[in-house]
């Protein structure tokens, strides 16, 4: 058994943008599931509890801390979306060329940041 090859570990692999996108995909999915669910349940509970509870929710959601959480959730959504679209393209058999894969691995988080900025610019200007 001592002569069996070992599985490669992170020390063996060369770090690349595709690894970051993969890790971000998992983190943003978990973040949306945990934090997003908590915000959704609180919002629905505030709606069901009456105007005073909803006013408390609205005050905290429109505070700087609330904006950080909401912007973070929207960034997580767009990052997860762009990474998911990248994986969908890979699943249909396209984009496996090294330069193409690297370009879309770099472009996915950048596009997600631009979409988040555009989304919040649209919300805050209305």
Measured CA to CA in angstroms, residue 61 lies from 70, 115, 126 at distances of 8, 21, 17
Q: Are the CB atoms for 54 and 46 separated by under 8 Å?
A: yes
| The predicted structure's pLDDT at residue 95 | 86
The helix-helix angle for 98-125 and 17-31 (nearest 10°) equals 40
pTM recorded for the entire structure: 0.86
Neighbours of 9 (CB within 10 A): 7
Whether residue 13 lies inside any domain: the answer is no
Whether residue 1 lies inside any domain: the answer is no
| The predicted structure's pLDDT at residue 17 | 92
| The predicted structure's pLDDT at residue 9 | 67
Q: Are the CB atoms for 109 and 21 separated by under 8 Å?
A: yes
Which residues constitute the domain of residue 33? 18-125
Report the alpha-carbon distance of residue 28 to residue 80 in Å, rounded. 6
Q: Residues of the chain whose pLDDT is less than 50?
A: none
Whether residue 2 lies inside any domain: the answer is no
Instruction: Indicate the number of domains in the chain.
Output: 1
Whether residue 54 lies inside any domain: the answer is yes
Whether residue 119 lies inside any domain: the answer is yes
Whether residue 5 lies inside any domain: the answer is no
Whether residue 97 lies inside any domain: the answer is yes
Which class for 40: exposed (0-12), middle (13-18), buried (19 or more C-beta within 10 A)?
A: exposed
| The predicted structure's pLDDT at residue 1 | 55
Report the alpha-carbon distance of residue 82 to residue 99 in Å, rounded. 18
CATH (domain of 103): 1.20.1300.10
């Amino acid at each position: 058994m001592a002569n069996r090859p070992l599985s490669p570990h992170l020390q063996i692999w060369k770090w690349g943008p595709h690894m970051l996108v993969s890790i971000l995909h998992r983190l943003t999915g978990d973040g949306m599931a945990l934090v997003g669910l908590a915000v959704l349940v609180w919002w629905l509970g505030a709606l069901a509890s009456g105007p005073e509870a909803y006013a408390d929710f609205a005050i905290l959601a429109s505070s700087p801390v609330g904006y950080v959480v909401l912007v973070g959730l929207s960034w997580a959504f767009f990052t997860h979306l762009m990474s998911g679209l990248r994986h969908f393209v890979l699943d249909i058999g396209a984009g496996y060329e090294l330069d193409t894969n690297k370009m879309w691995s770099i472009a996915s988080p950048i596009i997600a940041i631009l979409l988040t900025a555009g989304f919040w610019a649209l919300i805050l200007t209305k």
